[in-house]
Structure 1
């Protein structure tokens, strides 16, 4: 009988708790955009297993443990035949399921085919299921410092189509980037909006959903892969999604999705996010980035202009988040105004803002200044035309 370490025992106890609502799946974007050569059951089982990975302390033996209770709850299975159905699902996953991953390398691409879960062990007399990931899939599931996506496992649990799951993961990847760059900056406004309204060619959509040889007529692809999937996603996940068909000549060339997040789901998600190891690491990176931005802001000529116009106080200059926000979201807009009207144009704008300053601005000066310049810049651009 193998000896189980205290750490492994603790991990098992944690993972056998029926807390599916709190779990998240974190994956590299290359895995999100790969071709999932499997049907919905192996794909959902893979997502459930990934949610068991402790991203703060990844399993050294690539092994996680989950309970049959959680597994049956996840799949909403309660009949007497559930154990044999579980066995069939595992066998199918190991015989048929694999990911085809395409990654840029040098002047071309590298292609990988990986069976994600080659080993599963369980008994008929206890609740524990042992799942071992393939070593080649692990880099896409751990040490994720950039280009990764996280989504709620509870959303995946409600999806009953392979295409719904694939589209949901891809839409999550896009919307995560929208949220990231909306807060941190680093992208132009139109680039940020493109993440919330992502486009995909019909060719790419067929490859990603593994329908290159299926649904030859677009109307069939539209019904089975788009309409039916988005009905499920809108009904059961944190997203509301619509789409437009973009024509090139007489044919549909691409699809543009429009993603919004349901307010209640978003609030619940962010409460959970604060406990997530990936979020905590990202929070540390964010604090470091804020310090760098704040340092730049302190040296900026715009900071002096704000002080001169009493729109910023020396006390507020000690607020790292505030100064970082000015540097990331306000000062680039002042640069645009300067390019159009010179530094005097910026001075005139700030004088006007000072005269019209509202009381609430003192509670969120960066937001107030950003709103003011965003409202003013279009007028300047129209006048220059």
Structure 2
């Protein structure tokens, strides 16, 4: 059995969970370039500007013409990449897109890739106080597919909750980069399972174990009748990160976020439903579970299940609203006097009448 690495030798990079859990999927080379660029960010950075990395740090020395062409395409793709970073309570017609980079260039003769981080993306990369995830550099740089890379980040972001559940369609959007103008490769569940999910799961477990910090988890398929509709990951944990967090050794001054609370019994069930099914953020769900008495909360939870899961009333409104918006409005109606976030809702949600 391989020994776990010493905690203080682990090098990490950080992203806000909103970025980790977005539809920002990568090819293998894009993931490697992105990771090397993340590595250049100082942990105490106040602002991001121009960043430079060596081409040889991405593809080694003596690369073939084909490899340089692939790297050229990866850099070009990252330069054009825009992502949707809407908040959990955004309306279905809201739009908030931002670019990863303001500009990028590749100078083969100078062994150089140069870029400038986009202005709107910076709050998701620096001065992270809470709601962020650390990725271990050794693992990230050894993963050989963009699917594995994104799955590793995704599961690490849910490690404090120990579980993550999503629909097949949403998971595919997160893991698979959709090429513009090209048809979806994985319209069939069996194809997605065979070529994306199962290889990514196997590689994440193998590479993290080889690095001395195994990321372990269980995976369960969710079905409606015989049809697979979702995936549930449980018991997500990596040995060293648990130890580092408990000892306070993992968190730098720029990474000293609060850990999400653990619950048991009905509180755990309520928390998981509020976040995974009813669209609340972890912080909002924690406040509900902590402040609302269980005997008062569960009748409202049953109403949410009827509205959102059974009848999908939020989707039938004109215009439709998100599950999170519907849930927040109903919870505010019953428990607004107990919840701080209820007073901070957007004006749009304040107008939503149930």
Q: Same fold (TM over 0.5)?
A: yes
Q: Distance in 1 between matches of 2:133 and 2:216?
A: 18
The Cα of 1:141 is off from its aligned counterpart by 1.0
Distance 2:243 2:21 in 1: 27
TM-score by length of 1: 0.53
Q: Which moved more, 1:141-150 or 1:104-113?
A: 104-113
Tell me the SS of whatever aligns to 1:203: helix
Q: Write out aligned runs for 1:174-253 (5 A).
A: 174-175=158-159, 178=160, 195-210=161-176, 213-237=184-208, 238-253=214-229
Looking at structure 2, the residues matched to 102 and 109 of structure 1 have their Cα atoms a distance apart, in angstroms, of 11
Tell me: CA distance 1:106–1:235, structure 2 relative to 1, closer, same or farther (3 Å): closer
Count of residues paired in the alignment: 242
- What is the TM-score normalised by the length of structure 2? 0.57
Distance 1:147 1:108, change over 3 A: farther
Separation (CA, whole Å) in 1 of partners of 2:72 and 2:247: 36
- Structure with bigger gyration radius: 1
Alpha carbon RMSD of aligned pairs, Å?
A: 3.5
Superposition map of 1:46-57 within 5 A: 46-57=34-45
- 3-state DSSP class of the match of 2:120? coil
Whether the 8 Å contact between 1:28 and 1:144 is mirrored in structure 2 is yes
- CA positional deviation for 1:23: 3.5
* Structure 2 unmatched ranges of 5 or more: 1-8, 209-213, 260-289, 295-354
Post-superposition offset of 1:63:
2.3
The residue correspondences of 1:26-175 to structure 2 (distance < 5 A) are 26-36=14-24, 38-60=26-48, 62-69=49-56, 71-72=57-58, 75=59, 77-81=60-64, 84-85=68-69, 86-95=71-80, 97-105=81-89, 110-121=94-105, 123=107, 129-175=113-159
Higher helix share: 1
Q: Is the 8 A contact 2:84 2:96 kept in 1?
A: yes
Relative CO higher for 1 or 2, CA cutoff 8 Å, sep ≥ 6? 2
Q: Distance in 1 between matches of 2:129 and 2:83?
A: 22
Q: Of residues 230, 246, 261 in structure 2, which corresponds to 1:254?
A: 230
Shift of 1:217: 1.9
SS in 2 for 1:214: coil
In structure 1, what is the equivalent of residue 13 of structure 2? 25
